[in-house]
Each structure stands twice: as C-alpha cells, then as structure tokens.
A and B are shown apart, each in its own frame.
Chain A
Amino acid sequence: MSIIRFFINRLWVLFFAVGFTISSSYAFAQPLHSVMLSLPAHSEEALSWCGPATGQMIMAGYPSGSCSVLQEDVWTAIQSYKTETVWDTDPAGLKGALKNLCPPTGTWSIHPETDAQALMYSVAFWMTKNNYPAAGLLNTVSHNSYTAHEEHWVAIKGIITSADPTTNPTVNLEFLWFNDPAVPLGDPALERFVTGSTWYSEFQPVSKAGSSYLGKYVAIIEPPEIKGLAIAPTEVLTGKIIKPDFALKLADRWIEKFKLHELKSYGILKKAKALAPLLVNEKHGGYYIVPYSIKGQLAEAAVIVNAYTGNFQEVGAFKSVKYMSRQEAVQIATTHLQKREISPQPESLSDKIRTELIYPQGERVVSRYFPIWKVTINNKVIGVGHQGKVYTKIPSQEFSIPLPGRTPAGITWDGKQLWSIDGKTKKLQKIDSLSGAVTRSLDLDLSRPKGLAFDGVSIWVIDEATKKIHSFDPENGRLKKTIKMEVPAEKGFQSVEGLTWDGKYLWTAYFAGFSSSLNQIDPQNGRIVRSIFADCNPRGISSDGEYLWSICFNGKNLPAKIDKRKIQDNEHEMLRSRKFIADIEGTEPTGLAYDGRYLWYTDRHLKRSFRVFPEKSE
C-alpha cells in the first residue's frame, strides 16, 4: 500500500515537472519542482473544528499509509495536549494529536517563524524530503459565523517551487495546494490551488493576545528544522479594474497553460464552460471569480484572477452551487428590511440601491469563493451570503490587530512598524503590524499621554494634563525635548485629539466644538504656525506631507469617517479639497497613522488597530 502511495506521489511530481515547464505569464525558465500528495477533503464538523479536520486529513495522508480517525477523536486528543487555553486548537495540541493518535507516527515539530518565507521553505523542504503533508496556520482571523473562533488551520498537500528545496536554499514559491476545512458549515472542504503570491497575501502571523506564538507564522511539519527562503512576488492590490470579458478569457487561458484540468480535483474544467465573472472587493484587493459549470448555471469550480492584472491567483472545486445574482440579493435584503418594518424611503428603490460583492478581510466568515453581497438601500446596509444568509451587521471588512494596554491613546508609524501609546499604563510600545506582537515597550513619565507622531528620528507624545509635547528616543525612551503646547486663544480648547508630523512641522488636533482646530506647530518652540478649523469632531490625524487625514467622530450612532485634505497655503482651499474617504468601524476611534500605503486607526473600546486603504488618488 505504502509503495503504491509513494509512486502516486512521485507521479504527481513528474506530472508537474512536465506540466509547468511550459512558458506562461510566470515565465518559468526551468522545470518546476513539485510535491503533490493525495489527501481526502474533510470539512470541519463543528464551527471551531478546523484544527481537528486538518489533523484528520493529514493523518489520512501519511506516506506510510492512510490512517482513518474520527474528527471527534482528533478534537479530544487536541484538548488533552493543548498548552494554551486561548486557542480552540493550539499548535501543541495539534502536534500532540498527530504524534500520538495514529501510529506509526513521525516526529512532528512546531515551526514558529517570524519570517513567512523561511517557514514556507521548511514546508517545501520537508514535504519534498519525507512526503508528509503539513498543517499550516493560515491566520488567526475569524473565519466563520462563530467569530470567537479565530485560528484557521489548513492541510497543505502540494507545493510547487522553482527548484528543489532540498538542494537550493532559496526557491520561488510558485503554487500551494491545500484543503481548507473551514468553509460554511455543512459544505465540503475546499481544495484550493493558489499561487505563492496569493498564499502570502492571506498567510498571517498569530495575532492572539496572550499566546507565546504572537507575531509568529506557524506550521506543524514532519520533522524540523532547516534554513532557507521560499519567496513570491507581492500581489497587486489596487489599480484599474480589467473588464469581466477579459477576466474570463484569462481564466480560460490559465486553465490551459497550467493544465489545471489535469489535476483530478479540477477535472471538470476540461468540459466546463465559464459563467459570468463576479468582481469582488473592487476598491482594494479586488479579484474576479470566474465560475465554471457543466450543468447550466450550477458552478462546480472557479478560477480566481487578480482584478487589476488578470494574473492567476487560484483555482478551487466545490459542490454544485448557483451563485446568487444581484437581483436575488437585493430582493432578499428588501424583504428583510420590510419584515423589520424599515420601509425603503423615499423614492423608488432603484434610485437608492447600491450593491457590491465583498470578501471581508477582518472577519473571514465566508470563503473567498463565496463572497457576500453588500446591499445598501437608502442608507441601510444588509449583507446577503450566497446561501441566502442575511447579515444585519456586515462582517468586519478591515484587517485589524490587537493592541496592548488598556486605553490606546495614539498611534504612529516609524517607517517599518506601528507604535502605540497607552493612556492608562503610559507605555510606549512598538507593535508588529501583522500580528500586534509587542516588540519593544518603554515606560514614559507622563500624566495623560495622548497623540503620537514620528519625525524620522524621534517619537513625539502630547501630555494633555500639562499641555506639553515631548520627544523621545524610540530606542530607549530617553526624553529628548519638551515644548509647550500652544492653544489658539480665539478658538478655545476642550481636549487634544491627535498629533502628526508633515515632514517639517507637527500638527495637533483640538476639540472645541465648532472651533475645533488642526494646528501646524513649530517643533522648535511649540508656536502655532497656522490654525485651521477642523470642521468635524477630530479623533486622530495623520499626514504624509502632502495630505492631512483626520478621523471625524460622529457619536455612537453614526459611523466615524476619515477625511482627507490636500495641505495648501489657504485654509479655504484646503477645506475645498476635503473628501470623506471612508466610514470606519468601531465606536471609540482614537489615533490615526499612515504607513505609506494604508491608514491605521485605533479603537479605544475594541483595543485594536484597524487598517484602511485610503484611496489616495484624486
């Protein structure tokens, strides 16, 4: 049996070595190296059981022979070996189950790495060497309707690299093939074949506060430990959207070029016809789903292409499903509102309806293949899942990380990582922007810290109690300079609500009712160089030197908004350049930072920092 399995595995290697030698947009100059293992696809049998399902699949794919275990038994074993209670399935629990539940065992090791490329190299190396599948922790983002469950385990069964990882310390990660058990409960597991770029765009370090793995990428591999890198280009996340017809043509082309239909899981692609492509996440991170069907409108597989470049991202197969149309989604949303006696007002519905397909980045409660229709009817927003599930609260669309401390009071970006200041603990902390892991913590001697800015060398913090602005050395927390915080007499002052650096000057935000102001400050002496009306209730400001962004707080019942103004000499011209670019989640926003691509804001109540794409174009 084991000999047969070994040869099956090697046959896949041969197939891909030949199949991917052909030229493509990925411009393979040499035969690719691949390991493709045969694993059954098991979905999670409970909403928090993606770990047990992953273990169950991996044990069925041992090269020494399949081992069939019940998912419930895997769950029980995981609980007995678990060392961290903040997880449903922690790495130690899953490792213990793999090691002990189904002899003959491997040695199985937990690989926690701060570098995703280093970890994926280990996966490629040992999968090549030993032919065991691996358990990969895709991320710790909520991914189904049970949002308290965060860790998202998948079973990696195939990996394709530009060269043999056992003889090359650096390889390109071309494709990854894995079973994702965490699709909507009741559906079969999804078999996803994705590019290295797509994998890395979803692969995130642990962001569970209190875990020893915080900030680390994790996989459980048989066995340890090797040094190397598996690299992949970064996904393009913005740009001009390609047309649906072109996306469809490209999907057909990728199927042929990569011979996707030769893989058993995607065999239907040989006969299937493409249905109308669906555009998802149009504004940022957009992609087209091109469904394929051999039964009219019932899709059984889909190819996903980048919505801006048309590049192949992945292919997936699933049970027959009819994608919900816009009209059906609107009908469901309308019916839901009418049942709640929220009558669409005032004019005809067609004037006030907006629809878009979204794949929420913050809470991945649905699969990438089955996004949610976000239907806005006269300012009421309803989500409709592809199975008709109604979301009265749209799942979080923004990626976020936990913040340390009790009262986040400011945030800034130092060019590489985020910094946060806590109003209660008075700690200034450097934070990994992918996981929220604290990488440096400095105690500051301040009474009421609020607002944070980085000038390229020092970190500036306002002490609201003493109305002074201090600069600190971010290496050691040493106080470098203190200036007085000037308040414009004619505009009054009630509270300070933000601090930023525009490349030459500091800016402060003050709340004072209709006289709330944004003030450009000379960092040498604290004098106000200019003061403009905020025209909102500011709760954080940020600048890149060209633009000034601010959070406008609108009470607990209306969403706060981020606005953007071009910094100009005349106040009214700045005001006229102002655009409201995003509604934000959370109820207590405080602090805003720009990292060169994204804006980050903190929420005092949720104790998290959220990432927002600012749509910087004019």
Chain B
Amino acid sequence: MQTGIIRLTLGLLSLFIIFSSGCAHKYAVLVSTNKVTSDNVSYHSEWWYDLFLQYSMLRDNGFKDDKIYVLYGDGTDFNTMYADYNATNQYGHSITDMAVSKANVQSVFNTLGSKVKSSDYLYVWWMGHGGGSGPGSCNLSMAISNTGETVTDTELAGYISNVSSYKKRTVDVMTCHSGGMLDNMDNVGNKTVTLTSSTCPENSYSISTTCNGRPHAEFHYTLPNALKEKNPCGTAVTSDYDGNGYVSLSEAHQYNSATMTTSTPQLGDPDSIAAGTYIKKGTP
C-alpha cells in the first residue's frame, strides 16, 4: 500500500516537472525565394513544388502548421493544377504565411527568437538561386528573385542566430554553390546539422525523372523522400538504413549521396549529432 502511494506520488511529481517546464516543440522556417506562375516548367515550378513537398514531409513528421513559417512569392500559395500539390485541397488551408523578402526573413527569425525554447528543435529550409565568389567560390550570395534582394551566407547565419535558444537545429540550403553555407554554420557547440545541395563550386540541378513527372530540384526531391521514407507517389524508399524505425539526418545524407547524380550533397555536422537526430521524433 505504502509502495503504491510512493509510486503515485513520484509519478505525479514527474508529470508536474514535465508540464511545468513545457513540452518540446518542433519549429520550421521554409523560404522559397521566387514565385511560380506556371505548372510544369523546369527551373521554375520547383519554387512551389519543392516547397509543398517539404511542408508535406514536415507535417508527416509531426510538425504542426502553426509552427511552420512559410515565406513564398507575394504571400499567397501558387494555384497549381495538381490537386495533390494544392495546400487548400490537401490541408484545408493555404500554407504561405508571408511574402518572401529580406525584411520578412529577418522578421520571422526575430519572432522565433522569443518563441523557441532550449528544448525545441528548429528546422530551416532555403530554396533559391545562389552565386559563389571568393576562395573556392565559398562566399555564397543568395538571391531573393521576387524582390531583387540578395542575402549573403553571413547574413543568413546572422538571422538564424537570432534564435539563440534551441536544443538542435538543422539548416537545409538548395542553391547553386550552397556548399558556401557550411563554413558559416559549422561551429562546434552550435548543435547544428547543415545539409546543402552542392559543394562551393558546383551548380545545382533539377532531377530528370520524378515519380509523378513533375519538375523538382534533385536535392529537394531526394531529401524529403528520405525523411518521409516514400516519394510523392507513395512508393516506399529505403532510407532507414539501420532499420530502427527512424531516419536520422546522417541516413538522409547517405540517401542523398547515393541517389543524387547532378551535384554533390554536403553535410556539416561539427558536433556529430546528425546520426542521432531524427526529425520524426517528438524531440529530434
């Protein structure tokens, strides 16, 4: 009897501790720097198709809509002809929160700075044009094509760092020369995994064949497929290499490296946390 009371007390105490400190949340910022005006155009329609695929992957992995901040085009979803890439059709609401601009990118990270707690996970996704300059073409300059602005790798790292409190974070960049982002994020102790579509001198490309025939950037087709363990047509892909039921960021990178043919995906992991980061988990 006494033992039972003790156990109950300890259980209630544990629950109190958990709830008083708050649940861990998963936040995401998705930035697509252009605006689509036509379906089925390579190197154009991807700005929406990839964004939607990424959002869909995050939702499947337990991210809540109010924790996913989407910056795209002029601030409204692309009205695609494809029902399965139409957010209103799939989720009952649009997903774009604001227009993409340099000010809005800064603003969203400022906002998250006061929201994201030390137990939370932050996922940043960037899709756009990039130019490489300087030694090894590693100074990355990213275009916000919709406004004519540019954001340098240093600037983006600065914006992201406005979210100073987090447990782990992941930065995913698909631009030409995106390898230039690695040196800006690869600081030991930052608890950051950086995934990029290419090395510093490389361009990035669309994938020639997709399951549904729609154009996608190669990197932004293989990565969500790996993290979702299926392609947009619902066919399973094998990315859980150790078979533990979760796909780590290391496994996602392994899948990208094995699958991609047009550029060389990069992984930055100075704290060696990628192998133990599973975005599907409540606390990645």
Query: Which residue numbers of A lie inside 8 Å of B, CB to CB?
Result: 345-347, 378-379, 489-492, 494, 512-516, 533-537, 552-555, 557-559, 561, 570-573, 575-576, 578-580
- Also in contact, A516 and B145, with CB within 8 A (given A345-B83, A347-B83): no
CA distance A92 to B37 in the complex (A): 54
Of B14-22, B52-60, B203-211, which stretch is located at the interface?
B203-211
CA distance A575 to B34 in the complex (A): 10
- Also in contact, A554 and B205, with CB within 8 A (given A490-B131, A513-B43, A513-B176): no
Extra inter-chain contacts (20) besides given A554-B215, A558-B42, A576-B35, CB under 8 Å: A491-B131, A491-B203, A513-B43, A513-B205, A514-B176, A514-B203, A515-B129, A515-B130, A515-B131, A533-B129, A535-B43, A552-B41, A552-B42, A554-B41, A555-B42, A555-B208, A555-B215, A571-B148, A572-B148, A575-B34
CA distance A523 to B45 in the complex (A): 34
Instruction: Please provide the 4 A-B residue pairs with the shortest distance between their CB atoms, ordered closest to farther.
Output: A346-B83, A572-B148, A490-B131, A513-B205
Q: List 6 A-B contacts (CB under 8 A).
A: A490-B177, A513-B43, A515-B203, A536-B41, A570-B148, A573-B148
Report if B165 contacts A (CB, 8 A): no
Report if B217 contacts A (CB, 8 A): yes
Contacts of B263 in A (CB 8 A): 513
Contacts of B141 in A (CB 8 A): 490
Partner of A537, one of B43, B131, B133: B43
Q: Which of B112-168 contact A (CB under 8 A)?
A: 129-133, 137, 141, 143, 145-148
Contacts of A573 in B (CB 8 A): 148
Report if B38 contacts A (CB, 8 A): yes
CA distance A533 to B217 in the complex (A): 16
CA distance A535 to B206 in the complex (A): 12
Report if B230 contacts A (CB, 8 A): no
Q: Are A572 and B44 in contact (CB under 8 A)?
A: no
CA distance A9 to B267 in the complex (A): 89
Q: Are A572 and B147 in contact (CB under 8 A)?
A: yes
Q: Are B44 and A514 in contact (CB under 8 A)?
A: no
Contacts of A572 in B (CB 8 A): 145-148
Q: Are B213 and A557 in contact (CB under 8 A)?
A: yes
Report if B175 contacts A (CB, 8 A): yes
Q: Are A490 and B132 in contact (CB under 8 A)?
A: yes
- Also in contact, A578 and B37, with CB within 8 A (given A515-B203, A536-B44): yes
- Also in contact, A516 and B43, with CB within 8 A (given A346-B83, A347-B83, A379-B81): yes
CA distance A578 to B146 in the complex (A): 12
- Also in contact, A513 and B262, with CB within 8 A (given A490-B132, A572-B146, A572-B148): yes
Within the complex, the shortest CB–CB distance from A310 to chain B, in Å, comes to: 35
Contacts of B215 in A (CB 8 A): 554-555, 558
Contacts of B130 in A (CB 8 A): 514-515
Within the complex, the shortest CB–CB distance from B215 to chain A, in Å, comes to: 7
Within the complex, the shortest CB–CB distance from A210 to chain B, in Å, comes to: 37
CA distance A492 to B205 in the complex (A): 12
Contacts of B213 in A (CB 8 A): 557-558
Contacts of A578 in B (CB 8 A): 37
The residue in chain B whose Cβ has the minimal distance to the Cβ of A488 is: B131
Partner of A512, one of B143, B148, B203: B203
Report if B40 contacts A (CB, 8 A): yes
Q: Are B83 and A575 in contact (CB under 8 A)?
A: no
Report if B89 contacts A (CB, 8 A): yes
Partner of A514, one of B40, B148, B205: B205
Partner of B44, one of A346, A489, A552: A552
Contacts of A489 in B (CB 8 A): 133
Within the complex, the shortest CB–CB distance from B179 to chain A, in Å, comes to: 13
Contacts of A533 in B (CB 8 A): 129, 143, 145
Q: Interface range on chain B: under 10, 10 to 19, 20 to 34, or 35 or more?
A: 35 or more
Contact indicator per residue, chain B 192-233, by CB within 8 Å of chain A (1) or not (0):
000000000001111010000101010000000000000000
CA distance A489 to B42 in the complex (A): 23
CA distance A516 to B44 in the complex (A): 11
Query: Which residue numbers of B lie inside 8 Å of A, CB to CB?
Result: 34-35, 37-38, 40-44, 81, 83-84, 89, 129-133, 137, 141, 143, 145-148, 175-177, 203-206, 208, 213, 215, 217, 262-263
Within the complex, the shortest CB–CB distance from A614 to chain B, in Å, comes to: 16
The residue in chain B whose Cβ has the minimal distance to the Cβ of A534 is: B43
The residue in chain B whose Cβ has the minimal distance to the Cβ of A571 is: B148
Within the complex, the shortest CB–CB distance from A610 to chain B, in Å, comes to: 19
CA distance A345 to B50 in the complex (A): 22
Contacts of A555 in B (CB 8 A): 42, 208, 215
Q: Are B37 and A580 in contact (CB under 8 A)?
A: yes
Contacts of B137 in A (CB 8 A): 490
- Also in contact, A490 and B43, with CB within 8 A (given A513-B205, A557-B213, A572-B148): no
Within the complex, the shortest CB–CB distance from A489 to chain B, in Å, comes to: 8
The residue in chain A whose Cβ has the minimal distance to the Cβ of B47 is: A535
The residue in chain B whose Cβ has the minimal distance to the Cβ of A537 is: B42
Most-contacted residue by chain A among B43, B145, B148, B205 (CB, 10 A): B43
Q: Are A536 and B40 in contact (CB under 8 A)?
A: no
Q: Are B203 and A492 in contact (CB under 8 A)?
A: yes
Partner of B34, one of A378, A491, A535: A535
Most-contacted residue by chain A among B41, B145, B217 (CB, 10 A): B41
CA distance A492 to B263 in the complex (A): 13
CA distance A553 to B215 in the complex (A): 11
Q: Are A554 and B37 in contact (CB under 8 A)?
A: no
The residue in chain B whose Cβ has the minimal distance to the Cβ of A532 is: B145
The residue in chain B whose Cβ has the minimal distance to the Cβ of A352 is: B81
Within the complex, the shortest CB–CB distance from A536 to chain B, in Å, comes to: 5
CA distance A230 to B205 in the complex (A): 57
CA distance A573 to B175 in the complex (A): 21
CA distance A537 to B215 in the complex (A): 11
Contacts of B84 in A (CB 8 A): 346
Q: Are A535 and B203 in contact (CB under 8 A)?
A: no
Q: Are A561 and B175 in contact (CB under 8 A)?
A: no
Contacts of B177 in A (CB 8 A): 490
Q: Are A514 and B41 in contact (CB under 8 A)?
A: no
Within the complex, the shortest CB–CB distance from A281 to chain B, in Å, comes to: 23
CA distance A552 to B137 in the complex (A): 28
Q: Are B34 and A514 in contact (CB under 8 A)?
A: no
The residue in chain A whose Cβ has the minimal distance to the Cβ of B146 is: A572
Partner of B145, one of A346, A535, A580: A535
Contacts of B206 in A (CB 8 A): 513-514, 537
Within the complex, the shortest CB–CB distance from B176 to chain A, in Å, comes to: 4
CA distance A450 to B206 in the complex (A): 24
Q: Are A514 and B146 in contact (CB under 8 A)?
A: no
Most-contacted residue by chain B among A513, A572, A578 (CB, 10 A): A513
Q: Are A514 and B208 in contact (CB under 8 A)?
A: no
The residue in chain B whose Cβ has the minimal distance to the Cβ of A379 is: B81
Contacts of A558 in B (CB 8 A): 40, 42, 213, 215
Contacts of B176 in A (CB 8 A): 491-492, 512-515
CA distance A56 to B113 in the complex (A): 88
Q: Are B42 and A553 in contact (CB under 8 A)?
A: yes
Q: Are A579 and B37 in contact (CB under 8 A)?
A: yes
CA distance A512 to B176 in the complex (A): 9
CA distance A346 to B81 in the complex (A): 9
Q: Are B146 and A536 in contact (CB under 8 A)?
A: no
Partner of A580, one of B41, B131, B146, B217: B41
Most-contacted residue by chain B among A514, A553, A561 (CB, 10 A): A514
Contacts of B204 in A (CB 8 A): 513-514
Contacts of A575 in B (CB 8 A): 34, 145-146
Q: Are A554 and B40 in contact (CB under 8 A)?
A: yes
Q: Are A536 and B42 in contact (CB under 8 A)?
A: yes
CA distance A405 to B42 in the complex (A): 29
Q: Are A580 and B129 in contact (CB under 8 A)?
A: no
The residue in chain B whose Cβ has the minimal distance to the Cβ of A574 is: B148
- Also in contact, A514 and B83, with CB within 8 A (given A346-B89, A555-B208, A561-B38): no
